[in-house]
Structure 1
């Protein structure tokens, strides 16, 4: 008998827009709420706020707590599971919701790639409030439509309520489940975030890269001519370092990404030494070098392999991936000087620092509070570096979570204008 194609021995195709989750145990948050994250509780509240019978919600929560919800399948716009009730046969229960359109996803991707802390938060399974604010990822009251095969016509019935509560547990564990509910799979999103982040970082690097210096050899040749020596013409230095070979994956070989990284770094250092006579890495500390390495690879932390590199660099120096992401943003802002501004507050002498606040007020900017080399509002900050440049920082209002943004400038008004994109 001929085996139909795909019926035996075929490798199943991964469907990024369909995920099934085994039955999960409930976990009540310390404050007594069913979900542990703000977005998980927002999901539950969207259904609770439109419920017509609080008693059915209470029974649904009890059903979820006793493990009556079987495996859950999530596809765009739909969450489905079988829920056990009082009868022997479980009921097919689902919750439907609207998916985001292309415009909504464009706003999400633009906002996520605009700030390194947003990418770091997503990789740490966290959803920044700013992403929700610009895209409306979470459902509003009335957006969730329950449906169940049981005879109860309540809105929702206790089976749909149980599914809603248990689905909140999935959102707690992995916010990419929420993105799938809204229409995009995890790998699809990570690939697009990687592409946009790489393009943005490459454009910033190209705009900020100084011209490559050269080392004149005229004195050497003139000395050789005076001695009567005839030297062959020197080979011209290449315009840029060469690219390493492509290393195919091999389970018994070192990590291909690590090999590519080492080969690329060796080529860059050799080229710099050839053209300048100076090794730009020799004077760096291990932490500075790790930050430099991560900053040189715009996609770090987005794909599986580069995410591991990002994590390992931080772990090797007893830092967190978020620490490294913040340091990378500072390095891209101003190199080693920018990293020093991030990590080393200092007391500047009287002069430019004292003149900054009157200049900002004259330019109609809000009043800034001084502390050491920093001027701050609730969400904006300027830091004076030892190099005389002003560096812009931004934080969510009410949080001391400052991230480097914009280009440094000798003028505080110019640095703040660039930060605000005026």
Structure 2
């Protein structure tokens, strides 16, 4: 047994029933549930899975690389073995992930505090490693014979979301590394300096030879490596006074945001499969002002962006809060109230009907694409892409309370403290 096999299986005792509460409160737990809910073809099976998980019908959960397993009992006490598979990272992907973690000590510290920092997932993705599952990544297997996600595999996924809330190392174990082996590997890499290569003479072709060979050219160079961090703008702190109309603070902020955006675009371009992706739509003036404000820390810059985008400071703060949760889509949901077409409205109402058991369903009052919980400062907003966004009323204004979800009950769980319940 090598050091990667020492803690490659963990078993978690059955969790108590979770009546009237959501299954994921962390952003990474909600991302896990989105991978399930975006994939399942039968919303009724998701509802059954939520009901079984809330009732405590999921037994002890076994977690090991590539697979989670539990026995789930139906209402008639019939037991079924449910498995959900998630592809392990290969050796090369783990090497890239560990090298990246060594360069960012804060990532390791956050994991030890049982937190999954967003920058860890973003940096891993930039290195070509997808930590969180995406649509279609959670593959179900159940002895009930279902070929897609059934109530038993859905219940298992909902229960694992609660485990992920408590310990993100559960996700890393499913991806192939136990906590002890992972920390040992990080320690070993930290103690061993990377070998330095002797400089070599640059290879090239004599210009006269290249010209003589006509159309025969050497192959293009390999793509560049993605820099670990965006570039740092040059310092503008000089003894020379700025020219008329030049604001050094605003100029420095614009340069820093441009460097960050260039780094993000390069990461997207270097990611495998980019050639099949559709180009992003160009931002409007108002959207771009919010994007810049999301990275601005100087009050004077925020004031200029608020004035230039036609918002006051409070309005810009609400807009940047939405932007950080979901970019253009979240900003649109914040600022637009629209009439839902009849066919979309029918699907929305069906989703609301199936999201809760009848005795747990909150009373909702509809207005356009917004459903407000009667008697509570909580609201659901339907995006044009069919996802539900949670909102909470604070200080007389509706504010985004979390990321979007396919399931309205999961979205509304983000606003649970506003509904008078104790957070888990």
Greater relative contact order (Cα < 8 A, sep 6+): 2
Higher alpha-carbon Rg:
1
Q: Would you call these one fold, judging by a TM-score over 0.5?
A: no
| Shorter-normalised TM range | 0.3 to 0.5
TM-score (norm 1): 0.45
